[in-house]
Amino acid sequence: MSDVRFLLDENVNPLYRRELLRREPTLTVWRVGDPGAPPEATLDPEILLWCDQHEFVLITNNRKSMPVHLETHLGEGRHVPGILAISDKIGVSQTVEDLLLIASIVSADEIRDQLVYLPLR
């Protein structure tokens, strides 16, 4: 596994974390609201700041406003280790496969400052 660490947006089904950790227990997968993570109801721009400071890749299902938040974030000279936008229209199993693939082959810098839409194929 790579050194990628994931932060799940609070609106992402907790099943994703359970399945990721069941399949790869060495992964670091936190969720908004967990101890040490941003509290629930944290605004997206603040979550991006937290991800930048703590080197976590954000997993979100917010495909509508997240591109705007990322553009603003980057425009302010900030960075983010990456954002993975999952689709609720794709099954959990396929999404978990894609996330595990990313965690296994992607170095931390390869998705830096990028928004990657899943599914990969």
Domains in the chain, CATH or no CATH each: 5-117 (3.40.50)
Torsion of CA 47, 106, 24, 99, to 10 degrees: 60
Tell me: the pLDDT tens digits for 47-57? 999 999 999 99
pTM of the model: 0.96
pLDDT tens, 61-79? 999 999 999 999 999 999 9
Q: Is the peptide bond before 119 cis (omega within 30 degrees of 0)?
A: yes
